[in-house]
Each structure stands twice: as C-alpha cells, then as structure tokens.
Structure 1
Amino acid sequence: MLDFQYQQQPDACAIQFVDGPAFTFDDLHRQSCYLANGLVAYGLSPGDKVASLLPTGPELCLSWLGIQRAGGVFVPLNTELLDGFLRHALALSEARILICEQKQLDKLQLIAEQLPKLQQVFVVGDYQPHKTSETVHRFDALMSQHQSAALPSQDFQQLACLLFTSGTTGPSKAVMMPHAHCFLYGLGTIENLQLQQGDSYYICMPLNHANGLFMQLYACLILGIKAVIRSKFSASRWLSDIQRYQVTHTNLLGVMSEFILRQPVQQEEQSHALKAIAAAPASAAMIAAFQQRFGVAMYELYGMSEVNIPLYTPMDKPKAGSCGRPYSRYFEVRIACPATDLPCESGEVGEIQVRPKLAAGFMSGYYGMPDKTVEAWRNLWFHTGDLGRCDEDGYFYFVDRLKDSIRRRGENISSYEIETTVLAMEGVTECAAYAVPSDIPDGEDEVMLVVVTDAEIKPEQIHAFCQGKIPGYAMPRFIRLTQASELPTTATNKIQKNVLRQRGVDALTWDSQQF
C-alpha cells in the first residue's frame, strides 16, 4: 500500500499535522523502513507484539507503519491507561516492546515486575537515561538503523493489530485484527464515501482507535490522498481547520457533533470544500442541523472493532434515523432474537448480528480469551450485543445496547475494571458501575457508582481514591452510597444493573461536578 504510493507519487503530501510537520509518501516510506530495521536490530521477530503509549502524532504513525513493515503486531494503547488497566493491557497482549513518552515511565515502573514479557522500552523525546540501560532506550535509536534488514513477507490473514475494547462482565478484551480486516476499514471508507483522487481527509480522532487509524488514515494511504490530522479534537477549531486545509471528508463520533453545534455562529460557515461527514451516531435532527448550518451532508454508519463497518448509509439514498444498509460486498448483517438466534421479522427489534464474506475480513478472536470468542461468535454469527431493527427496504436502525458496557468520550469502558478498582478500597464491600444518560443531547454516557461500605466513607473519598487508578475518561461522575439489602439482585446474587439504571440519578446521589 505505502510502497505503491511511494513509487507512484513520492513527493506528494501524505500526512499534514495541523500546526505540525508534513510527510510526503517518500518520507513515510523511508522513515518507516528505518524504524522497521531498528525493531529487527533490537530483536523483533515476526508476530511479536509491539505496544504504543503515544498520543496522536508523527511517532504514532511511523510506529504503526514500521511495526507492520517489520512483521510485528501493533498494540495501540490509550495514553490515559494506568495502574491495573495498563498492567492488564500489557500483560494480556504479551507485548515484548513498548514505545512511549517519557511521562509514561513512572506508571510503568510501578507495574514493571508484573510484566515479564516486556523486554525493551523506547522513549520519544529528549529522554536522557541516567545510566546505560539494556531495556530503556531513546526512540531515536530505532530510527538510526538505516541499513536494510531482512524484513518478512506477509499475507492478508496474518495478525496485524491487537485493539483493546471494553469488557462487559470482565476485563477489557484485545481484538485480533488480521491485515485484511484493517484494510477493509479503509476500503469501505473509499467505496462508501466515494473518495477519489484530489480529495483529502480531516482526522480529529485518536489514532489508537480503529476509526481514526484504519477507517480514515488507512483509507488515505490506500488511495494516495492527503490526511490532515489534528492531534486532539477541538470543537472551536473544527470549522477553521476544515476551511484552512480545504478538506473534503471527515468523521465525527458521539458528542463531537453536539459540541460543534454549540460553537458560536460565524460568518461564511458554508464556505468550505467539505463533501461528506461520516458519523456514529447521527440522529435525524443532528443531520438536519449540520445540513442547515454548514451545508454539508452527514451519513450515519455502524461498526465496532470486532466487525469492521458493516453498515453505511447510501449517499444516493439516505434515510433519516437509519445507520445504513449492509456493505454487502464483504459483510452479511441480520436482526435475530437474542434468546434463540432465529431471524426476526421486518421491523421487529432484535440483536444485530454480523459475519464476513471474505476470509480474515473480520476479527479472528479475542487474544488470550477463547471463551469470550466462543461466547460472541456462535451459530455462525458474531453477536454484537446491540439491539436494532431492519425495515422492508433493508435499512438498519440502532435501538439500544444489550451489553453492560459504558461509552463515554468516544471510549468503551469496562464496568468490571472500574468495580475491581473501587473494591480494592478499604471499607468497600460491594459496588456496581453502570451508565446513566448524559445531560448533553445526543450525548453518550456518564459513569455512576453504587457503593456498599462497612465503614464511614464519603462519596468524595471514593472519588479521590479513584484518582490515579482509573483513566480520566472512565472516572465516575455520580456516586451513591447504599445498603447491601437495597441492591437489586438475581436469584444467584448478581446485581441487576438494569434496575439500577432505571432508578437513575436521585437526590441522594453525589455529583462530582457540583463539588
């Protein structure tokens, strides 16, 4: 993919970072080769896992390309992970090499003894080791290997990436993504959003997610068009970036659309080159608001790390409220009864189930969790855990989630991992973490905790205990103390979170945003 563009248009701009460096296809080819040579020189073998704790930026892009070129498996991690969350991700993935910023080293030192597989760490920036280290090196050491190494050949079925997604009743899972699966994200964008030569893509999502990395950036590299990347989403700069770089396509996720609409109205807001916005979710009201204000069409889609993007809204025949029709060239999608797996009738609500038509066009399982793989992939269909319906014209509609996951700020959050952290606090005997609605229209979730204690503990103490142990995006906003007898449970003593969700936030709930 990159080699082809390098041969066809070496001097064309491949990536332009907003207020940062630009890379031609020649730059990406040459520097990713250096990095691949460096990884091999430091002992990387085909199939070895290489994790990154890097923000969206040049080093993350080069790491991804270099790791793939060297035959390694890319494991992009959220930079906010810490403590047990970080230990779980690094241990489960069996990463041998880690590329990170210097500020991540303190977190690593706390868990290093529990990561026997981790052998080499490369630090981006002006890191100066106090003494010669056999395990911690400057990132520049990888980039200094200009002599070509013997790099392995790869095929579309080989594992390319481990991408972490939320656990629902257990720890976060690592989705095994073959090369074909990753490629189909980009190809789907090209074919369904009608990308063509001369277009450009504005990427304002983190590149440790499939949406930003594969659906957007990979699409640009496949087609050979320019990607304009902002390292962190800014609602106030969204329109000015699009106008400044004259981009033609972009993606939005969750509350990003609402945050943009909340910005003050400016002059000439429809003076831009934007042709289409891909969004998930995108209500009919949101689509209409963007069309009226910015004069640009928004198209809803549906996907997840495990199943790619199997549903796209047809650009020539959009239907309000629908998340699209099947990308039938590569995927089958159906609505089935969650209890029986029998297909539902048109209009009937059931579970969204997906399967690929192309070998390796789908996740190959959850790494190190065969039981979770079997649980999700049964009766020849992948069970998304999402409820939906399909109309007579073949348009699908997302209804709700069956899963017990929480989605906030574009992140899937494991309630299990939050609960495990809180239960480690002395005096806490039981707790439940679950989602409650955001107060932002079309928003995502807020995290709520119900806690049972055998000591005089205040909600603010629980919140303070979570600081430094739970990533910022997963921090509970609401905390309610209760008695064990007041917790709704099943006959097998499992907490009924559906009942807690129905109770919602009441007068006895502590709100961190009010203190």
Structure 2
Amino acid sequence: MRPEDAFALMVDQGDMVLDRLDACCRVHPDKTFIIYGEDDITLSFAAFRQATDRLAAGLARLGVGADDRVSVFTRNSLVAALAMFAIWRAGGVYAPINFNFKGQLLGYQLKDTAPKLLITDINMAGVLAELADDLALPPVMMHHPRPGDHDDAGTTMPLAGLGGAPLHDLADLLATDAAPPVVIRRYGDIANIVYTSGTTGPSKGVMQSFRWMNQYNFLLRSLNNADDVLYCDLPLYHVGGAFSQFVRAVWHGCTVGLWDRFSPNRFWRRIDRCGATVCVLLDVMVPWLMSAEPDTRDRENTLNKVHMQPLPTAHHQVARRFGFDFTTAGFGQTESGAGFLVVIDQFGAEAGTPPDLYRGLSKDALRTAVRDMNLYMVDGAAPTPKGLMGRPSPLLETAVLDPEDNICPPGVVGQLAFRSRFPSTILTGYLNKPEKTLEAFRNQWFHTGDAISRDADGIHYFVDRMGGFFRVRGENVSSFEVEDLINSHPSIRVAAALPVPAREGGEEDIGVFVELVEGATLSLDALRAHCAAVMPRYMVPHHLRIIDALPLTPTGKIEKYKLRQQLLAEIEAAASGRLSA
C-alpha cells in the first residue's frame, strides 16, 4: 500500500477517538464495551458515554478546559478509563502517572506536568500526603472504593489531609446529571502526556496528539473487526494498555476485558470470562504461562491473535501449545508510535483456536488484510531471525543511522530513526524540554535510541537499546543475545543481563541475574557450565546470580537498574573486605 493510500485510509477511519466512541453509541449503544473483571462490572457503549459525559461536566465545573492537563494516579483501571475519555471530552490533556511512584519520582512528574486537577484514589492518599510539605498539590478528585470492591483497603484520609488541596468526590460527580461541555478538538491537538523512562536524566513527558493515537493502533486494528474482544491487563499509564489494548476498541466497536494487572494464575480464567480474541504478552509473561504444567485442554481458549513484545525465540512452541493462530511483533514506542509490524502465521490451514471458539476476521480474511496493508507475514514453523520487526509502517519514513546520522548500508547496525510523512503522526515534542526535543529531532530525524539493522529486502531487526551494548574484551556484546542464550536452559524462566565496570581497564563486565522455573533447581556451577557451553568465551558473564524473582514493573518489564545497584553494592562490599583484610 502506498503511503498516501494508507494515510487516506487511516484518516477516513477517524482521527478523533471521541468521534469513534460516538459512532459506536449510534450503531450499537447496548453492546458491551467494558467488562471490568476486578469487580465484575459491565458497561455498554452508551453507559460508558453517559458516565464519561457526566464526569466531563464535573471537570468543566472544576475549571478544566481546553489544553488543561489532568493527572491520573490510580491503580483502578476502570477509574483511569473513565477519566481518560472524560478529560478528552472536557478539552483537557490526559496525563497518567505510574501508580508505583512515590517520593521524588512522583513529585517530579507532578511538578513537571503542573496539572489543573489530580484524579486519584484514597489508597494513594498516603504517598501524596508525603509530598504536601514540598509541593502544592492541585485540586484533587478522589475515588473512594465501595465496601467489598477489590480495591477497598479500608484506607482513610491522613489526618494532615493533602496539604490543603481542595478535595472532590468522584462518585458525586458521576451521579450528577449534567451535559458535558462542547469543546472543539482537532487531530493535531495534544491529547496525552505520557512519561517515558529517562536513561541519562529525568523522565520526559511525551506530548501525543489525537492523530498519534490513530497512527499507533492503525496497523494492529487492520487485523480486527467488531467481533474481536481485546484483553487488557496492562496499566493505563502505559501506551500499550491505554491506547493499543483499550482505545483501539472504539475504531471497530470491540468489547474490552479490563483488569488492573497481569496474573499468571488467573490469566486463562479471565480470557474465558470475557471471551478475548486478542491480547498482548510482554517479556516474562510468556515464560510464566509456559511454566504451567501442560494440559490437553491448553488450546480450548478464544485467543487467536497474540502480540508478543519482544518476540521470544520459542514463539512457535507457545502458539502451538495454546492455539494462537497468529502472533504479531514489531516496534512500538511512546514517542514514535507503531513503526513496524510482522504477522506470524502459526498454523497455516490447520485450526489453532477451536472453530467453535474462533471470532474476528477469518484466517483467510486476515491474510488478505495483511496483503492489502503490505505487512510482512512469515510462517511460524520456519526459523525466525532474532529481533524480527518486519516492514516499516507506510505512514513513517525509516532510517538506520550511524553516529554522524549517515544512513547505514544493509546489514550494518545503527540507530533507528523516523520521519513523519504526514502531519501529527509522531510525538509533538517533550514537555518543558525544548533542548531534548531538538536533540531527539536533530538532522530532521527522530532518534529512537534503539539499535537495529535491515536487510537488502527492507526487513528490519531489533538488536538492542543503544545503551544495551556492552564493550567486553574488545567485542560489542548485546544484552539481548546474552539473555537469549541463557534462557535456552530448560530450568531458567528468565534472565536479565546488565553491564558493570570491569575490574581492569575501561570496558565492562557482564552481570546476569536468573530466575528459575518454579520447582526447578540449578547450581551456580551448572549455570556457569551452561554459559560456557552456549556462548563464546568473551560473552560469558563475570557475575552470575540466581534469585527468587526478578523485580518487575506493572507491565512485566525487568527493572534492571535495581539489579545493577544490588550488584554494584556487592562488588563494592567484596572489594572493601579484601582491602581491609
């Protein structure tokens, strides 16, 4: 598909997410939009629109208007979902906060965002109160769980309150019967400010337009129709949860099964509860599911399209075990949206999902959609090159750049960069950081900070974060490769590789933390022998640790900085012991 044809199709499908919700309410108002599994709450499209309209009216009465930022700090995904659409309806900007933040991290983001209003829940009152002496909190809209709700922890407001910030009850605003304001919004207006982790400094608030959301889920939704049910257990401060798995639903009028967090023990019961056909599995979610004892009924589920990011080496075995007809992978980013997609046909003519449970586009219709969109499709049974990302989106111009921003030839690793072919399809910039925006867009390319390569046919492959390269004994070593090789041991659930300063010279040693499959045993000597057997000598980690559980973010990503701090402390303590001796 030519870029101009793809762009015309994307715009024709609707740039404005609120217009898409309104269309769903006109076409099938009584269809279930949300199944909130945590409290077994079901909302139709019409009921969701009514609730968010009332909340938008309440926001307007509290002074929220066009371009005003509203921070959302809650673990409750239904509250976040309602707040998101209400903020947009009132003309505001959705600015979610990681619900694990406290102290300096939380204070920094609130100061940087400077919201007109903060939507939160009573369980967050304690960490917010700790900031009251150093930060003037904005007016607060508070969610109070009802007795018996899953998030009812019996929490009460601290005696000191929240530093004098005006408090409003979310339930009161939802109960009022008021019309929402009429605020005209256009595709280039800022819809969201989502913070991305800082690697060399404070995290940056990425300003995303309404069209950014359209671009972000355009490729994936080409594989869906109204019969699909999207399963979402990713937090709604994460672009994957908020805009791919939740907001994507309004373009086709899909039902969403919504939960607050991933649970390996409850995952399949949830899929059955909502009849999900689509889900996302990130990082350690896959080995968690695979570590369960195989069962003859493993394929008796409704999932037929599963996005795996990053794509595990064993994706075909995973798909064959659980009956996933298609898996997808690619490249998605808070700044650039969805730049790549690859579709993997895992079963061919054979049925993966039982025919009586299969919903969504037929397999032939999905393959036709792949061809029409010029997406890259491969046979799941064939060997898959590491880091396969597929072809770039027709909406974006792509390059692999060397350190001087020259385009690298095929086969040479460089930094992935994007240019927008059409207005407002990638980030507008970083909030309050014009110098970081200029740096990222130097030489008219947006620099992603990711190392990739491409082949002569234009197929692209992820190598690592630019900071994920180690310089070891004169060799460039990728953390991705180290982890992939270690994870090949059957007793290992997941590994995390990270660099630490070498004992001698200016290069680095490799440290690896390993989490074992439940019930498995493995000695450090056996782990070292495994590394020696599967790796070249220079790649074998100098520091190996086996731990009960790797620290994770709510989206299942390994918090390597915590592991690095632990390892550096151990190294320093060992060195101090030698010196004192």
Query: Deviation of residue 46 (structure 1)?
Result: 1.0
Query: Deviation of residue 145 (structure 1)?
Result: 3.7
CA shift in 2, pair 1:437/1:362, >3 Å: farther
Return the match for 2:96 from 67, 76, 81.
76
Q: Counterpart of 1:166?
A: 197
Matching of residues 160-239 of structure 1 within 5 Å: 160-191=191-222, 194-239=223-268
What is the DSSP-based 3-state SS (H/G/I as helix, E as strand, rest coil) of the residue aligned with 1:111?
coil
Q: Counterpart of 2:288?
A: 259
Find runs of 4+ consecutive structure 1 residues off by over 3 angstroms: 113-116, 126-134, 403-407, 434-438, 472-475, 504-510
Moved more, 195-204 or 106-115: 106-115
Moved more, 352-361 or 124-133: 124-133
Question: Which amino acid is the alignment partner of residue 288 of structure 1?
Answer: H
CA shift in 2, pair 1:236/1:96, >3 Å: same
Return the match for 1:306 from 308, 318, 335.
335
Paired residues of 1:158 and 1:178 also in contact (CA < 8 A): yes
Q: Counterpart of 2:33?
A: 14
Return the match for 2:61 from 41, 48, 54.
41
Question: Which amino acid is the alignment partner of residue 85 of structure 2?
Answer: L
CA shift in 2, pair 1:404/1:75, >3 Å: farther
CA shift in 2, pair 1:237/1:208, >3 Å: same
In 2: Cα distance, 1:365 partner to 1:163 partner:
11
What is the DSSP-based 3-state SS (H/G/I as helix, E as strand, rest coil) of the residue aligned with 2:248?
helix
Query: Deviation of residue 188 (structure 1)?
Result: 2.6
CA shift in 2, pair 1:330/1:435, >3 Å: farther
Paired residues of 2:34 and 2:255 also in contact (CA < 8 A): yes
In 2: Cα distance, 1:506 partner to 1:300 partner:
40
Q: Counterpart of 2:562?
A: 476
Paired residues of 2:338 and 2:393 also in contact (CA < 8 A): no
Paired residues of 1:480 and 1:508 also in contact (CA < 8 A): no
Query: Deviation of residue 279 (structure 1)?
Result: 1.4
In 1: Cα distance, 2:388 partner to 2:29 partner:
38
Query: Deviation of residue 112 (structure 1)?
Result: 2.6
Moved more, 175-184 or 129-138: 129-138
Paired residues of 2:400 and 2:413 also in contact (CA < 8 A): yes
Paired residues of 1:351 and 1:383 also in contact (CA < 8 A): yes
What is the DSSP-based 3-state SS (H/G/I as helix, E as strand, rest coil) of the residue aligned with 2:301?
coil
Question: Which amino acid is the alignment partner of residue 397 of structure 1?
Answer: Y
What is the DSSP-based 3-state SS (H/G/I as helix, E as strand, rest coil) of the residue aligned with 2:109?
helix
Question: Which amino acid is the alignment partner of residue 327 of structure 2?
Answer: M
Q: Counterpart of 1:439?
A: 514
In 2: Cα distance, 1:396 partner to 1:389 partner:
6
Paired residues of 1:38 and 1:144 also in contact (CA < 8 A): no
Q: Deviations over 1:395-436 (max 9, x none)?
A: 1111111137999xxxxxxx9xxxxxxxxxxxxxxxxxx995
What is the DSSP-based 3-state SS (H/G/I as helix, E as strand, rest coil) of the residue aligned with 2:328?
strand
**1:294 correspondence with 2:322:** yes
Query: Deviation of residue 11 (structure 1)?
Result: 0.1
Query: Deviation of residue 381 (structure 1)?
Result: 1.0
In 2: Cα distance, 1:25 partner to 1:2 partner:
7
Q: Counterpart of 1:374?
A: 438
Q: Point out where structure 1 has 5 or more consecutive residues left out of the alignment.
A: 408-414, 416-433, 443-471, 483-503, 511-515
**1:335 correspondence with 2:366:** no
Question: Which amino acid is the alignment partner of residue 86 of structure 1?
Answer: L
Q: Counterpart of 1:125?
A: 144
Q: Deviations over 1:188-242 (max 9, x none)?
A: 3202xx1012111111211110001101111112210111122210112223322
What is the DSSP-based 3-state SS (H/G/I as helix, E as strand, rest coil) of the residue aligned with 2:297?
coil
Moved more, 318-327 or 370-379: 318-327
CA shift in 2, pair 1:435/1:200, >3 Å: farther
CA shift in 2, pair 1:228/1:74, >3 Å: same
In 1: Cα distance, 2:207 partner to 2:183 partner:
20
Paired residues of 1:56 and 1:231 also in contact (CA < 8 A): yes
Query: Deviation of residue 291 (structure 1)?
Result: 2.2
What is the DSSP-based 3-state SS (H/G/I as helix, E as strand, rest coil) of the residue aligned with 1:476?
helix
CA shift in 2, pair 1:245/1:150, >3 Å: closer
Return the match for 1:245 from 274, 279, 287.
274
In 2: Cα distance, 1:2 partner to 1:403 partner:
40
Query: Deviation of residue 256 (structure 1)?
Result: 1.1
Paired residues of 1:56 and 1:207 also in contact (CA < 8 A): no
Query: Deviation of residue 264 (structure 1)?
Result: 2.0
In 2: Cα distance, 1:114 partner to 1:195 partner:
48
In 1: Cα distance, 2:304 partner to 2:567 partner:
46
Q: Counterpart of 1:156?
A: 187
What is the DSSP-based 3-state SS (H/G/I as helix, E as strand, rest coil) of the residue aligned with 1:46?
coil
CA shift in 2, pair 1:398/1:506, >3 Å: farther
Return the match for 2:412 from 344, 348, 355.
348
CA shift in 2, pair 1:115/1:46, >3 Å: farther
Return the match for 1:105 from 120, 125, 130.
125
CA shift in 2, pair 1:190/1:481, >3 Å: closer
CA shift in 2, pair 1:78/1:8, >3 Å: same
Paired residues of 2:331 and 2:339 also in contact (CA < 8 A): yes
In 2: Cα distance, 1:57 partner to 1:75 partner:
14
Matching of residues 461-500 of structure 1 within 5 Å: 476-477=562-563, 478-480=565-567
In 2: Cα distance, 1:404 partner to 1:388 partner:
12
Query: Deviation of residue 58 (structure 1)?
Result: 1.5
**1:400 correspondence with 2:464:** yes
Question: Which amino acid is the alignment partner of residue 334 of structure 1?
Answer: A
Query: Deviation of residue 437 (structure 1)?
Result: 4.2
Query: Deviation of residue 48 (structure 1)?
Result: 0.8
Question: Which amino acid is the alignment partner of residue 476 of structure 1?
Answer: K
Q: Point out where structure 2 has 5 or more consecutive residues left out of the alignment.
A: 1-19, 146-154, 345-366, 368-376, 470-478, 481-497, 499-508, 518-557, 577-581
Q: Counterpart of 2:135?
A: 115
Question: Which amino acid is the alignment partner of residue 444 of structure 2?
Answer: L
Q: Counterpart of 1:279?
A: 308
Question: Which amino acid is the alignment partner of residue 179 of structure 2?
Answer: S
Query: Deviation of residue 150 (structure 1)?
Result: 3.0
In 2: Cα distance, 1:84 partner to 1:506 partner:
26
Paired residues of 1:239 and 1:269 also in contact (CA < 8 A): no
**1:140 correspondence with 2:161:** no
What is the DSSP-based 3-state SS (H/G/I as helix, E as strand, rest coil) of the residue aligned with 1:227?
strand
Q: Deviations over 1:144-186 (max 9, x none)?
A: 4422243311001001111011111111111001111022223
What is the DSSP-based 3-state SS (H/G/I as helix, E as strand, rest coil) of the residue aligned with 1:242?
helix
What is the DSSP-based 3-state SS (H/G/I as helix, E as strand, rest coil) of the residue aligned with 1:264?
coil
Aligned length, in residue pairs: 432
